[in-house]
Structure 1
């Protein structure tokens, strides 16, 4: 493909992604996979160039563009090398005109801007869309961090976490022996710190209430040294089914899984009522802290979605509170930087539940935000998270 044809293909890919975000369809990654599957003639260099250009556009616009061309025209307005590729050739984009639509560049969608935590200064916004590094958690059930780090000269030890390493973006970790042997898991620093905030120990009874595919469950298993009772629960059968083989690979065969029925979760958890030392609620959220990995989600979220998520978070926190034993801890976390999902959500929970008090996790990361801590890409080098420990009296 010539350079102009690549630009037009990036426009076409952006059009498909814009429609998917508007209609709550597939993720941008899945849209791209389907797009290239239908264009077998595009070689690997072509696909990489097209994807890089499309994602450059996605990262450049907080508001969803009117079209892929409007996004690309806006980029071309400040990039002469890109502008000359609008040459009107057979497979390239049509010539630029002075009056055509241009997307407006920016980081945050306008309606979301006032909802972010006041701790997040405007100077930090660009970091929300930088490419994320590759963070690993060394599985202490099977390996020691120093020994794993010695395998890769480029590895950085993440001093904020007990088992964290960082490798350059694009490192082929899944083909390494350390990954295949279960010695490491791919996990962002912030997610590792959520598991550490739980303060679990061997012999405890612990529930990961929104376990998904079990990334944080596996971290909890390692912190428990494989001893005690650890229950991974979720309402998604497909996601939960990914955990048993991951647990076997990680040497964490003691993990139990429980599939829950939405809004009838206690039917499967009743035996754990007031019996758990720690309940982790890594709740469904806006994902505003993970834009580095999924920048198109800025175009997908709307006010109705956010209201539904905030209500669901509150419901899950109250459900989890019923599982916590006296003296035990409910750890609430979201990969969000919005106050309504973080500090405000924790404050409202404490108003509803007088039998709990807030405790902030203690480690060398994050900023105090209400009752808990806020982590952000610019301040902590992690995805954005809010977390708080709520101790039952």
Structure 2
């Protein structure tokens, strides 16, 4: 592909990303993968260049662009070398036209920037949400220890004892250590959130929103495969991904339970007031993961944010029913908005007077409300809110 053809390919992808964002369609990474599959003539360098152009444009534009071309034109203000590629050459973009729309530079749409500012996320800290994320792994202590593990690359030691960091794009999934379950890909912030649960071998633990099970596997390792670990979720497709992951990791104590939305206690009733710990990794806007999914800023609306908050409130109330006296509840969202973090946890404590806030001792993060916040700017992790509550005996 010529450089101009790469630009036009990125524009075509951006058109699809923008439409998908408006209609809650496929994420950008899937759209790019589909383009690569449909255009097998493109070599690996071409695919990488097109991907980088598309993501650069997404990160550069705040408001949802009018179209892919407007998004790509916005990059010209930062990279003048792109201007000469708008020359109308074969397979390339046509010449610039006077007065044609150019997308606005920024971190996110204006309404969302206001919400971030209200949560004290501004300036460099907001800009860090559009940076590139590294690749973190967790050494699976059911099969290995960090100090004794031999990998093709050494990785950077992080705050948690079993956490390692590599450059983004490092092919860890091709390593023997990954295939054999000795390492799992997991952001350092996510690992820290799991550590807040402080689970012990022999306990009864519920991962209420387990998804594909990344945090479930971390909990199983911390429990040393002893005790009872229930992984539940309402998403059958995501939950189905847990069993092969657990088998690879050697995690044998996990019980899966598929929940019916609004009727969760029908599947969890036997666990009422039985759990030592309930982890709620609640569905949220994903603001803290924008480094990996920057187009998510275009998918969020005030109404969706309000629905996420309502879901989080319901999950906190549900989780509280499952904890036995003396047990604990851990609330996690991968968001930096107080609407989905400190405000939700404060509302929970206010509405459940028997519960007490129990601030976890974390190696990174800053106090936010009655919990802690991890951020890309301050901690080098994805953005998280983490809080813990204790139910007195």
Query: One fold, TM greater than 0.5?
Result: yes
Query: 1:153: Cα distance to partner?
Result: 4.8
Length-normalised TM-score, structure 1: 0.97
Extract structure 1 runs of 4+ deviating beyond 4 A.
none
Judge conservation of contact 2:129–2:290 (CA < 8 Å) in 1: yes
Between the aligned partners of 1:14 and 1:151, the Cα distance in structure 2 is: 37
Length-normalised TM-score, structure 2: 0.97
Between the aligned partners of 1:26 and 1:356, the Cα distance in structure 2 is: 40
The equivalent residue for 2:306 is 307
Judge conservation of contact 2:197–2:277 (CA < 8 Å) in 1: yes
The equivalent residue for 1:143 is 144
Kindly indicate whether residue 53 of structure 2 is the aligned counterpart of residue 34 of structure 1.
no
Between the aligned partners of 2:27 and 2:236, the Cα distance in structure 1 is: 20
The equivalent residue for 1:364 is 363
The equivalent residue for 1:251 is 250
Give CA-to-partner distance per residue, 1:73-116, whole Å, 9 cap, x none.
11123422100000012321111123111100001221012222
Q: Secondary structure at 2:324's aligned position in 1?
A: strand
Between the aligned partners of 2:8 and 2:44, the Cα distance in structure 1 is: 17
The equivalent residue for 2:54 is 54
Which range is displaced more, 324-333 or 3-12? 3-12
The equivalent residue for 2:187 is 188
The equivalent residue for 1:209 is 208
Judge conservation of contact 2:61–2:74 (CA < 8 Å) in 1: no
The equivalent residue for 1:131 is 132
Between the aligned partners of 2:194 and 2:43, the Cα distance in structure 1 is: 42
Q: Secondary structure at 2:177's aligned position in 1?
A: helix
Q: Secondary structure at 2:15's aligned position in 1?
A: helix
Give CA-to-partner distance per residue, 1:269-317, whole Å, 9 cap, x none.
0011011000000000000000000000001111111111100010011
Query: 1:24: Cα distance to partner?
Result: 0.7
Kindly indicate whether residue 369 of structure 2 is the aligned counterpart of residue 377 of structure 1.
no
Between the aligned partners of 1:82 and 1:114, the Cα distance in structure 2 is: 32
The equivalent residue for 2:175 is 176
Query: 1:152: Cα distance to partner?
Result: 4.6
The equivalent residue for 1:346 is 345
Query: 1:40: Cα distance to partner?
Result: 2.6
Q: Secondary structure at 1:199's aligned position in 2?
A: coil
Give CA-to-partner distance per residue, 1:330-380, whole Å, 9 cap, x none.
100000000110000111111111011111110220000000000000101
Q: Secondary structure at 1:347's aligned position in 2?
A: helix
Q: Secondary structure at 1:111's aligned position in 2?
A: helix
- Taking the TM superposition and a 5 Å limit, the aligned residue runs for 1:14-33 are 14-33=14-33
Q: Secondary structure at 1:257's aligned position in 2?
A: strand
Between the aligned partners of 1:334 and 1:76, the Cα distance in structure 2 is: 36
Structure 1: gaps spanning 5 or more residues: none
Kindly indicate whether residue 194 of structure 2 is the aligned counterpart of residue 218 of structure 1.
no
The equivalent residue for 2:94 is 94
Judge conservation of contact 1:154–1:168 (CA < 8 Å) in 2: no
Query: 1:7: Cα distance to partner?
Result: 1.0
Judge conservation of contact 1:141–1:222 (CA < 8 Å) in 2: yes
Number of aligned residues: 391
Judge conservation of contact 1:77–1:83 (CA < 8 Å) in 2: no
The equivalent residue for 2:123 is 122
